């Protein structure tokens, strides 16, 4: 969302709500020919077929549309009309039919910008008559859905095991009485362990059971981009209104804020405004808050104020339960032996488990229902190794180690031998030797063309230091964990 604004969820929902308020004929007359085309900050551009049509819509509905948008988004979004004579008429709301009717209708002379042939009038009447049941159900299911949340991320779909029960129970306590129990609530843990699922489950539950609560779910990255954009356009007041007027603010992946000073300041004030009004705040992070670098102390203390709970990698039993739940939901049959093989080989996280299962599912559907242990191993062979080694390069290791020590990867490649560079360089060499298959010669080449004996010496040095200095081993382990995590992400 860095440069383009997407308000289509708000637009769709606005149209949906208005559809429920007005007569169906009126709806079809005016709304079926408005087409969301694009957006800018605070602005949606809608295509309509003629200037007459635009003026009519403005006069009749503009304030209602903008009012609904304001309600949904928490900020003022204006509408601008773009005249596009090819906007087709879709009298039927039924998707299949509108496809049939997507022919271009020229602007006619009747002032409405379009003419109704007698056939179309019949379609209009017939559809109006038929609308009844299915249309209403469609509206119902759609309006139950929160436009910013994935409807599959629910508590019902979340398998609870030892690795996540603390976090899941806290989340379920929060939704019973948002803003009071644990505020803020922060979930942290590595990639693919279920942070996004859990934070969205909170949103989905509250949306369904307390529909009057205004909920915003946003990725930290989008929040940041939106804010930068608001500054550039001198519209920060709108940004503030949007985020300070919610009941539930869910921000995913807050580690992204590291080093972004202005966004940190803005989030700090947003936090205070909501917190003082007992609004619920939930965050996720890929590491403990203490490990986010370049974070102001005051924001750090806000994040740490409520309850911080981590998600651990799932145990064998939980992995098995998750796979079972998935195949049940998909309605496919995969023998227990195969599930065992997956559980034994994929221990990292749930996203990787899902990827493996998806591949087997495709095999069942496209090739054969008879899955044997041999087929399982053969089909998932690459996958099992990919998750461990393939994506970890010396370059990735240098970058992560350098970042940790406030250096650049180039510093590690350079010839400089001061202790402040030499030690991190040796740690990076040690890790490269430990977790990749590269030879010391290959590693030396990556480190600015050093000799293999230099690499061996560096590795030995770190191995020795770790035996005598107890503070080094945790740093190395943490770096290895992060590197593996980054590697599995690419």
Binding mask 310-349 for ligand ADP (x = CB under 6 A): ------------x---------------------------
Indicate which single residue of 351, 355, 457, 461 sits in contact with ligand ADP (rule: CB under 6 A): 351
- Between 70 and 219, name the residue whose CB sits nearer to Mg ion: 219
108: left (phi over 0), alpha (psi -120 to 50) or beta: beta
Strands laid side by side in the 35-40 sheet: 35-40, 43-48, 78-83
Indicate which single residue of 11, 53, 61, 158 sits in contact with ligand ADP (rule: CB under 6 A): 158
Tell me if 289 sits within 8 A of 188, measured CB to CB: yes
Residue 164 binds which of Mg ion, ligand ADP, none (CB < 5-8 A, kind-dependent): ligand ADP
349 lies in the binding site for Mg ion (CB under 5 A): no
Instruction: Give 24's contacts (C-beta < 8 A, 6+ positions apart).
Output: 128, 131
- The phi and psi torsions of 258 (rounded to 5 degrees) equal -60, 130
Site for ligand ADP in 391-410 (CB under 6 A): none
Site for Mg ion in 223-282 (CB under 5 A): none
282 lies in the binding site for ligand ADP (CB under 6 A): no
197 lies in the binding site for ligand ADP (CB under 6 A): yes
What are the DSSP calls for 105-161, one per residue? ----SSSSSS---HHHHHHHHHHHHHHHHHHHHHHHHHHHS-TTS-TT--STT----
- The phi and psi torsions of 214 (rounded to 5 degrees) equal -90, 120
Rounded Cα gap, residues 412 and 455, in angstroms: 12
236, 290, 308, 288: which is closest to 267 by C-alpha? 236
110, 114, 111, 112: which is closest to 101 by C-alpha? 114
Rounded Cα gap, residues 270 and 250, in angstroms: 12
Instruction: Point out the residue whose Cβ comes nearest to ligand ADP.
Output: 194
126, 71, 135: which is closest to 101 by C-alpha? 126
> Per this entry, what is the length of the chain?
490
Indicate which single residue of 19, 54, 146, 195 sits in contact with ligand ADP (rule: CB under 6 A): 195
- Between 147 and 192, name the residue whose CB sits nearer to ligand ADP: 192
192 lies in the binding site for ligand ADP (CB under 6 A): yes
- How does strand 280-285 pair with strand 248-252? parallel
164 lies in the binding site for Mg ion (CB under 5 A): no
- Between 247 and 252, name the residue whose CB sits nearer to Mg ion: 252
488 lies in the binding site for Mg ion (CB under 5 A): no
Residue 425 binds which of Mg ion, ligand ADP, none (CB < 5-8 A, kind-dependent): none
DSSP H/E element including 314: none
221 lies in the binding site for ligand ADP (CB under 6 A): no
Residue 191 binds which of Mg ion, ligand ADP, none (CB < 5-8 A, kind-dependent): ligand ADP
466 lies in the binding site for ligand ADP (CB under 6 A): no
Q: Binding segment for ligand ADP among 97-105, 155-163, 241-249, 392-400 (CB under 6 A)?
A: 155-163
- Between 292 and 322, name the residue whose CB sits nearer to ligand ADP: 322
What are the DSSP calls for 155-211, one per residue? STT----TTTHHHHHHHHHHHHSTTTSSSSEEEE-STTSSHHHHHHHHHHHHHHH-T
- Between 314 and 424, name the residue whose CB sits nearer to ligand ADP: 314
Q: Is 333 helix (H, G, I), strand (E, B) or coil?
A: coil
Number of residues that bind ligand ADP (CB under 6 A): 15
200 lies in the binding site for Mg ion (CB under 5 A): no
- The least CB distance from residue 379 to ligand ADP, in Å, is 20
* Residue 341: how many other CB atoms lie within 10 Å: 19
- Between 19 and 195, name the residue whose CB sits nearer to Mg ion: 195
Q: Binding segment for ligand ADP among 81-89, 190-198, 339-347, 468-476 (CB under 6 A)?
A: 190-198
Rounded Cα gap, residues 183 and 301, in angstroms: 13
Indicate which single residue of 43, 148, 181, 191 sits in contact with ligand ADP (rule: CB under 6 A): 191
- The least CB distance from residue 196 to Mg ion, in Å, is 3
Rounded Cα gap, residues 270 and 254, in angstroms: 14
Q: Binding segment for ligand ADP among 86-94, 113-121, 185-193, 446-454 (CB under 6 A)?
A: 185-193
Indicate which single residue of 47, 90, 92, 196 sits in contact with Mg ion (rule: CB under 5 A): 196
- The least CB distance from residue 302 to ligand ADP, in Å, is 22
Residue 135 binds which of ligand ADP, Mg ion, none (CB < 5-8 A, kind-dependent): none
Binding site for ligand ADP (CB under 6 A): 157-159, 164, 191-197, 322, 350-351, 354
């Amino acid at each position: 969302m860095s440069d383009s604004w997407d308000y289509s969820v708000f637009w769709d929902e606005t149209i949906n709500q208005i559809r429920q308020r007005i007569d169906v004929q009126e709806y079809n007359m005016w709304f079926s020919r408005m087409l969301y085309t694009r957006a800018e900050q605070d602005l949606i551009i809608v295509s309509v077929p003629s200037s007459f049509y635009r003026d009519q819509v403005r006069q009749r509905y503009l304030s209602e549309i903008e009012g609904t948008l304001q309600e949904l988004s928490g900020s003022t979004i204006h509408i601008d009309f773009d005249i596009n004579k090819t906007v087709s008429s879709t009298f039927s709301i039924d998707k299949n039919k509108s496809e049939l009717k997507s022919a271009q209708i020229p602007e006619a002379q009747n002032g409405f910008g379009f003419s109704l042939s007698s056939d179309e009038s019949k379609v209009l009447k017939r559809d109006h008559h038929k609308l009844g049941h299915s249309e209403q159900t469609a509206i119902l299911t759609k309006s139950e859905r929160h436009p910013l949340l994935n409807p599959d991320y629910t508590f019902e779909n979340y398998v609870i095991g030892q690795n996540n029960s603390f976090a899941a129970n806290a989340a379920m306590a929060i939704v019973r009485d948002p803003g009071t129990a644990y505020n803020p609530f922060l979930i942290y843990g590595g990639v693919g362990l279920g942070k996004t699922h859990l934070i969205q489950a909170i949103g989905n539950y509250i949306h369904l059971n307390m529909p009057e609560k205004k909920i915003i779910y946003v990725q930290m990255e989008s929040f940041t981009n939106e804010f930068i954009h608001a500054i550039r356009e001198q519209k920060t007041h709108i940004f503030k209104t949007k985020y300070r007027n919610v009941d539930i603010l869910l921000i995913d992946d807050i580690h992204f804020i590291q080093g972004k000073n202005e966004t940190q300041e803005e989030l700090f004030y947003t936090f205070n405004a909501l917190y003082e009004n007992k609004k619920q705040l939930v965050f996720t992070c890929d590491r403990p808050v203490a490990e986010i670098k370049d974070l102001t102390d005051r924001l750090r203390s806000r994040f740490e104020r409520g309850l911080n709970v981590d998600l651990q990698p799932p145990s064998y039993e939980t992995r098995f339960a998750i796979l079972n739940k998935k195949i049940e939901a998909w309605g496919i049959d995969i023998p227990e032996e195969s599930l065992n093989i997956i559980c034994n080989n994929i221990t990292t996280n749930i996203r990787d488990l899902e990827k493996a299962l998806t591949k087997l599912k495709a095999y069942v559907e496209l090739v054969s229902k008879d899955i044997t242990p041999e087929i399982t191993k053969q089909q998932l062979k690459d996958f099992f190794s990919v998750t461990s080694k393939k994506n970890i390069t010396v370059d990735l290791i240098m970058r992560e180690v350098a970042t940790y020590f406030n250096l650049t990867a180039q510093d590690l490649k350079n010839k400089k031998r001061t202790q402040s560079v030499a030690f991190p360089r040796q740690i990076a060499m040690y890790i490269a030797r430990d977790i990749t298959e590269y030879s010391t010669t290959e590693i030396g080449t990556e480190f600015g063309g050093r000799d293999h004996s230099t690499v061996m010496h560096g590795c030995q040095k770190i191995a020795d230091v770790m035996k005598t200095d107890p503070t080094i081993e945790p740093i190395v382990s943490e770096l290895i964990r992060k590197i593996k995590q980054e590697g599995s992400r690419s």
